[in-house]
């Protein structure tokens, strides 16, 4: 679709340039050149048609498909005596009618989810994703549908797909929870706890009730894995703030303290605190690792950072203050580090 739209726009620009130059060359045009002008007019019509069909009309096409869905539910409300088989057949017919709209297919996918028809939901989301691969939510919804239909467990292929997406979109908390559930129901309780703890630490939209549910899930995972060992590599970080930068920091700013490998962008372990707690001492262990099997290892070189951000977004670079340590080799036991936040 985008290719056709681009072609239409390019041709439209060429035509516009042609018409701008036409008055200048009019006196030099010979009768035999008029076919070229006809070609310009034809190209103009084609380009406007492409632009209209693939560009401006897409919103109208989505609305038309949504109207089809609304009409279906209006008819269903007026005729509730339909059998289950009739409803399913009508839904299948509706799906064919709106197959040209990825937004409508995604909406139908949510309808199928509410009906507990997970396979049909997956099919709709996969179709929508193939039509609009730039919309990541369709892919996430397909994984979510599979998780609901399989008691929270994901096959290895979908687990890797979810992990890859989470690495690209680290604040997608739906994926984070899906991976936590997957690890939990497959008996990998330590990894489930890691993802749930990250939800508590980073999802600022969590309600107190939802946070309590997750904390209870972590507690249950601990009970199911009594043999779980506490990480025996500890980076004990003392963080202070340069007095010259104190005026730039609000008590409500967020402080991220993390350790990473020099060869990797993803932190190995992270803690989140508030600026009003500075100066502060925290312990980074493999219990705070960002991804399973990517923790600190004895004998390896790491770097430790502290960052203050007003937005609370750990990925933002704008308006942040930071400090960092010299590279150090971690060993078993406590590895003390002191950091001063002195860079803006």
In the chain, what are the domain boundaries? 2-78, 233-341
Query: Is residue 228 scored above 60 in pLDDT?
Result: no
Confidence of residue 112 (pLDDT cuts 50, 70, 90): very high
pLDDT value of residue 239: 93
Distance in angstroms (rounded) separating the CA atoms of residues 3 and 252: 47
Q: Does domain 233-341 have CATH number 2.60.40.1120?
A: yes
Token pair for 60: 């109208």
Token pair for 146: 């599979």
Written as one string, the DSSP assignment of 122-173 is: HHHHHHHHHH-TT-HHHHHHHHHHHHHHTTT---HHHHHHHHHHHHHSTT-H
Among the ranges given (61-70, 106-115, 137-146), the one the predictor scored with the smallest mean pLDDT: 61-70
Say if CB 255 and CB 274 are below 8 A apart: yes
Distance in angstroms (rounded) separating the CA atoms of residues 92 and 122: 14
pLDDT value of residue 5: 44
Enumerate long-range contacts of 200-207, CB under 8 Å, 24 or more apart. Answer: 201/270, 201/271, 201/272, 202/171, 202/173, 202/272, 202/314, 203/173, 203/176, 204/312, 205/173
Confidence of residue 229 (pLDDT cuts 50, 70, 90): very low
Say if CB 239 and CB 306 are below 8 A apart: yes
pLDDT value of residue 49: 56
Token pair for 144: 């979510």
3-state secondary structure of 228: coil
Query: Is residue 214 scored above 50 in pLDDT?
Result: yes
Model confidence over 295-321: pLDDT tens digits?
888 788 999 999 999 888 777 776 689
Highest mean pLDDT among 79-83, 280-284, 328-332: 280-284
| Strand-pair category, 333-341 with 233-241 | parallel
CA atoms within 13 A on the CB side of 332: 2
Query: Is residue 4 scored above 50 in pLDDT?
Result: no
pLDDT value of residue 230: 42
Among the ranges given (1-5, 28-32, 268-272), the one the predictor scored with the smallest mean pLDDT: 1-5
Residue from 122, 193, 196 nearest 161 by CA:
122
Give, as one character, the DSSP assignment of residue 318: T
Give, as one character, the DSSP assignment of residue 41: H
Model confidence over 51-84: pLDDT tens digits?
445 554 677 788 888 888 898 888 888 887 888 8
Model confidence over 175-204: pLDDT tens digits?
999 999 999 998 888 788 888 988 888 888
């Amino acid at each position: 679709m985008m290719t056709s739209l681009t072609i239409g726009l390019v041709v439209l620009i060429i035509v516009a340039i042609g018409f701008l130059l036409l008055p200048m060359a009019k006196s030099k045009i010979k009768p035999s050149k008029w076919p070229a002008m006809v070609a310009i007019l034809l190209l103009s019509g084609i380009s406007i048609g492409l632009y209209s069909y693939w560009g401006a009309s897409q919103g109208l096409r989505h609305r038309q498909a949504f109207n089809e869905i609304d009409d279906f539910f209006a008819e269903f409300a007026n005729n509730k005596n339909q059998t289950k088989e009739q409803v399913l057949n009508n839904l299948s017919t509706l799906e064919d009618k709106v197959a040209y709209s990825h937004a409508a297919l995604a909406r139908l996918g949510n309808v199928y989810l509410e009906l507990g028809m997970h396979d049909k939901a997956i099919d709709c989301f996969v179709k929508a994703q193939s039509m609009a691969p730039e919309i990541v939510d369709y892919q996430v919804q397909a994984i979510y549908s599979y998780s609901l239909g399989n008691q929270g467990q994901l096959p290895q292929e979908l687990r890797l797909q979810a992990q890859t997406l989470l690495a690209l979109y680290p604040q997608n908390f739906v994926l984070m929870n899906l991976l936590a559930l997957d690890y939990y129901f497959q008996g990998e309780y330590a990894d489930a706890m890691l993802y749930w703890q990250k939800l508590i630490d980073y999802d600022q939209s969590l309600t107190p009730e939802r946070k309590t549910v997750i904390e209870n899930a972590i507690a249950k995972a601990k009970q199911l894995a009594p043999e779980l060992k506490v990480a025996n590599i500890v980076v004990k970080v003392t963080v202070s703030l340069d007095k010259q930068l104190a005026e730039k920091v609000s008590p409500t700013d967020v402080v991220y303290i993390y350790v990473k490998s020099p060869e990797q962008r993803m932190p190995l372990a992270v803690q989140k605190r508030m600026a009003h707690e500075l100066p502060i001492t925290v312990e980074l262990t493999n219990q705070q690792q960002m991804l399973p099997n990517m923790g600190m290892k004895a004998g390896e070189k790491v770097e430790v950072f502290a960052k203050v951000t007003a937005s609370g977004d750990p990925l933002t670079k704008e308006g942040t203050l930071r400090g960092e340590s010299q590279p150090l080799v971690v060993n078993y036991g406590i590895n003390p580090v002191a950091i001063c936040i002195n860079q803006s």
